[in-house]
Structure 1
Amino acid sequence: MTDSIFEIEHKIRALEREIQEIKERWKEIKSVKEQERKGVDHANISAIAYFTYSFLLPKGDEQKGVVIGSFVIHNIGSAALETPVICLKVTPKECAVLSAKLGEDVQYDRRLNPLVMEPWQYIDENMKKMVEERGEFWIKPVRVSQIEPGQKLAFSNFQLKFDISRVQTSYKMEGFFYCKQLQNGIRALNNIVIHV
């Protein structure tokens, strides 16, 4: 009789485990169905951003050095990245000057370099104040609204000008990429740093 009680208790525990597993699976199924209903995409969202640049030394008695660079975003995920925005931060903001061709009317020859074809503009008119206050350039592409998987987008041929004086100074440019899917942003893999 005691053997049959132990067998019954063993069967009850086994049934309880099975019921628990079924409940957990049911929760997973409900969660997936709910996400599908909300339109959540299970695609891989991933990107990298980086600078490419060249440093031009001043000639003769000139006191201005120049960095000519590009900020490149590469979508390495499996889903499109929508509404791309970049922030380039220059420090110290008082000394370094960033110049670039911004606006809708900037035209490039796509045959020469496909990364150099996209014009950029400030994300809104108030962003010009951010340049003065924080040294931050918030810009977005004019025509491109998303970066497809495997594709690249570049803010090309900007110039960072800086003073080379007797006072030892470090200049730094940091880059950040944001989009609808990456609202907290990602930091560039590298920075532009100049010690003079």
Structure 2
Amino acid sequence: MSHPTIERLSNHLKSIEHQKDQLKSLLKANSNPSIISYFAYSINYSHQGSNNLIIGHFIIHNLGTKELKNPYLCLQLPESGVFQLTGKIVSTKQKQKVQVGAWERFTEEGPSTTYWLRPVNQNKLAPGDKVTFSNFQIKWQSAEPYKGAILAYVYTDDMPDGLPALNSISVSGN
């Protein structure tokens, strides 16, 4: 039979160990980057078979307390091929002749519905700062029925699995 004091101290020690494990889990969860990303956009529909247009911005905001390294995004257009993306997008080869606010498409040159983009000349995002993929345009014809969603995901060195944007852009019509 064990002594009541030893048993009580043993239980107390187990309780402290459990609390320590919970605190470690909480600290680990809170040390992850705190980031939000979202689309802000306007749509101009034409129901007469001519061009439709989305003009938008994609904003990445570091709400955390630590600097984020190498932010980049994956922008996915619908697979239908009806939608075309334009904006301040440069290839790796064009990076030296870059305009202010440009983003580099660092994978898959040519036609594709997936765009991997990173801001040119900005590889860090300080706490509280934002970086914006500004004034992009998505165009499509309304001569045929169309439907699709534009999705985005943000990645950094600390978030290799990515984080989806808070919203997406969805369009459809006949």
Please classify the TM superposition score into its range, dividing by the shorter chain length. Answer: 0.7 to 0.9
- Report if the CA contact (8 A) 2:39-2:59 is conserved: yes
Give the whole-Å Cα distance in 2 for the aligned partners of 1:50 and 1:63: 28
Alignment of 1:69 with 2:61, yes or no, is no
Whichever of the two has the greater Rg, that structure is 1
* Residue of structure 2 in register with 1:17 after alignment: 11
- The correspondence of residues 33-44 of structure 1 with structure 2, limited to 5 A, is 43=31
Distance between the aligned counterparts of 2:13 and 2:42, measured in 1? 65
Q: Contact conserved, 2:49 with 2:141, CA < 8 A, in 1?
A: no
* Counterpart residue identity of residue 120, structure 2: V
Query: Relative to total residues, which structure has the larger helix share, 1 or 2?
Result: 1
How far apart are 1:122 and its partner, in Å?
1.2
**Cα deviation, residue 15, structure 1:** 3.9
5+ residue gaps, structure 1, are 32-39, 109-117
Rounded Cα–Cα distance in structure 1 between residues aligned with 2:145 and 2:42: 21
- Report the TM-score when normalising by structure 2: 0.79
Corresponding position of 2:149:
172
- Whether 2:109 is the aligned partner of 1:128: answer yes
How far is 1:193 from its partner? 1.1
Give the Cα separation in 1 of the matches to 2:76 and 2:152.
6
1:188 matched to which residue of 2? 165
Superimposed CA distance per residue, residues 38-91 of structure 1 (whole angstroms, 9 cap, x where no aligned partner): xx9x745111110011112349x6621111111110111111111111011001
The total of aligned residue pairs comes to: 164
Give RMSD over aligned pairs. Answer: 3.0
The alpha-carbon distance between structure 1 residues 20 and 174, as it changes in their structure 2 partners (threshold 3 A), is closer
Quote the residue 2:37 is aligned against.
49
Q: Which has the higher strand share?
A: 2
Percent of paired sites with the same residue: 29
- The 2-side partners of 1:143 and 1:58 are apart by 37
Q: 1:93 to 1:138 in 2, by over 3 A?
A: farther
Q: 1:18 to 1:92 in 2, by over 3 A?
A: closer
